[in-house]
């Protein structure tokens, strides 16, 4: 967690200090930290839940879903105080969510096995009843009415249980973009933040110009999620305008061109630095598998992630 920032240079410094502080705290307990969407070696028992009424009610309601949620995401908040504008921006961002999954995939392993997916966290997380891509919202009243019905039907405990990959925060004047796996490096995190910032700026411009947001079919968007989670940045993706397959690399190129062109010069320079450092390495899942291959060793993947997280 970082403080709010208006520029990527300050964000980089904050990320470094935060990771160093967590690493030092872990070291005092004889532990190391890794940033991964899923645990490489799995878990032998359900993870403990925090004390309190809310978590007890969650376990009673969602049952084994709570047992298997040892997953970690990277959330980016963008301040948009007006709910109607935030939802209009969400509508414009929805078609980009599969590309963000592919760029940020960092969870190929689960319980000591290669899942065959670059982002297994995406598949695991999608099992929750209010998760995955958000609906297209016609208005703020549409959003409020739908969330109200989900709470009334006891599908949600409260607004904090809205787990869509884009959502208005229930306690901050922000729009949350929640689609990405936990990022292995500071540069991965910085590039995600830069892309989200740029996409949001472009979406705001489109909203203010009265441009309608694309409305891909919900089923096709979910199919694009699945393909992005499986293939990552080096396979294929689904073109939401045609339903045909396309190169994931080409799709990511359009994502970054759209996002980075909307950034201010200083932010653009910082984003390009992060992008160049990651060029040729693939996403986090590619790097985890590369660490595994020489000795077919999952502990080698752990060592790799320790280094990536704290470098």
- Per-residue model confidence (pLDDT) at position 102: 97
User: How, if at all, do strands 73-79 and 113-114 pair?
Assistant: unpaired
- Residue-wise pLDDT for 255-264, tens only, equals 999 999 999 9
- Per-residue model confidence (pLDDT) at position 69: 81
Q: Is 164 helix (H, G, I), strand (E, B) or coil?
A: strand
Residues facing residue 237 across a β-bridge: 246
- Per-residue model confidence (pLDDT) at position 269: 93
Map tokens 């935030």 to a residue. 86
Band (pLDDT 50/70/90 cuts) for residue 44 is low
Residues facing residue 238 across a β-bridge: 245
- Residue-wise pLDDT for 228-248, tens only, equals 999 999 999 999 999 999 999
- Per-residue model confidence (pLDDT) at position 42: 77
Angle between helices 97-104 and 218-231 (to 10 degrees): 10
108 pLDDT above the threshold of 90: yes
User: Can you tell me the distance from the alpha carbon of 291 to that of 311, in angstroms, rounded to the nearest whole number?
Assistant: 16
For the chain, what is the mean pLDDT? Answer: 95
Buried b (16+ CB within 10 A) or exposed e, 124-140: bbbebeebbbbebbeeb
User: Can you tell me the distance from the alpha carbon of 182 to that of 99, in angstroms, rounded to the nearest whole number?
Assistant: 16
95 pLDDT above the threshold of 90: yes
- Per-residue model confidence (pLDDT) at position 58: 87
How many CB atoms within 10 Å of residue 164? 19
Domains and CATH numbers, the chain: 8-310 (3.30.590.20)
Q: Is 131 helix (H, G, I), strand (E, B) or coil?
A: strand
Please spell the DSSP secondary structure of 47-86, one letter per residue: PPPPSSHHHHHHHHHHTHHHHT----EEEEEEE---HHHH
- Per-residue model confidence (pLDDT) at position 12: 95
User: Can you tell me the distance from the alpha carbon of 16 to that of 4, in angstroms, rounded to the nearest whole number?
Assistant: 15
CB-based contacts of 238: which residues, under 8 Å, 6+ apart?
A: 98, 220, 223, 224, 227, 244, 245, 246
306 pLDDT above the threshold of 90: yes
Band (pLDDT 50/70/90 cuts) for residue 70 is confident
pLDDT: is 48 or 45 the higher one? 48
Pick from 306, 311, 296: which is nearest to 31 by CA? 306
User: Can you tell me the distance from the alpha carbon of 285 to that of 154, in angstroms, rounded to the nearest whole number?
Assistant: 36
36 pLDDT above the threshold of 80: yes
Indicate the pTM of the whole model. 0.96
Map tokens 């000795």 to a residue. 295
- Residue-wise pLDDT for 112-168, tens only, equals 999 999 999 999 999 999 999 999 999 999 999 999 999 999 999 889 899 999 999
Buried b (16+ CB within 10 A) or exposed e, 279-300: eeebbbbbbbeebbeeeeebeb
What average pLDDT does the segment 179-204 reach?
A: 97
What average pLDDT does the segment 8-20 reach?
A: 96
Pick from 248, 257, 79, 252: which is nearest to 174 by CA? 79
Map tokens 């009265």 to a residue. 210
């Amino acid at each position: 967690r970082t403080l709010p920032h208006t520029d990527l240079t300050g964000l980089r410094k904050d990320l470094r200090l935060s990771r160093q502080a967590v690493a030092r705290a872990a070291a005092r307990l004889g532990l190391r930290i890794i940033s991964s969407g899923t645990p490489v070696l799995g878990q032998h028992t359900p993870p403990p839940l925090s004390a309190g009424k809310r978590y007890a009610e969650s376990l009673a309601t969602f049952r084994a879903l709570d047992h298997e949620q040892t997953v970690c995401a990277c959330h980016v908040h963008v301040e948009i105080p007006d709910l109607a504008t935030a939802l209009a921006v969400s509508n414009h961002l929805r078609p980009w969510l599969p590309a963000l999954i592919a760029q940020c995939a960092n969870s190929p392993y689960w319980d000591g096995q290669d899942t065959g997916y670059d982002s297994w966290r995406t598949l695991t997380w999608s099992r929750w009843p209010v998760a995955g891509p958000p609906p297209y919202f016609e208005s703020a009243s549409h959003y409020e009415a739908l969330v109200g019905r989900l709470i009334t039907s006891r599908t949600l405990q409260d607004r904090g249980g809205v787990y869509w990959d884009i959502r208005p925060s229930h306690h901050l004047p922000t729009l949350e973009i929640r689609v990405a796996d936990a990022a292995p490096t500071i540069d991965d995190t910085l590039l995600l933040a830069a892309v989200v910032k740029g996409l949001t700026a472009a979406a705001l411009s489109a909203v203010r110009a009265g441009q309608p947001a694309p409305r891909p079919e919900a089923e096709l968007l979910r199919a694009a999620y699945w393909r992005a989670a499986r293939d990552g940045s080096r396979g294929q993706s689904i073109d939401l305008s045609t339903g045909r397959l396309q190169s994931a690399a080409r799709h990511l190129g359009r994502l970054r061109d759209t996002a980075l062109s909307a950034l201010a010069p200083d932010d653009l320079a910082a984003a390009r630095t992060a992008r160049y450092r990651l060029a040729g390495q693939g996403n986090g899942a590619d790097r985890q598998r590369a660490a595994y291959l020489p000795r077919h060793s999952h502990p080698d993947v752990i060592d790799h992630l320790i280094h990536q997280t704290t470098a």
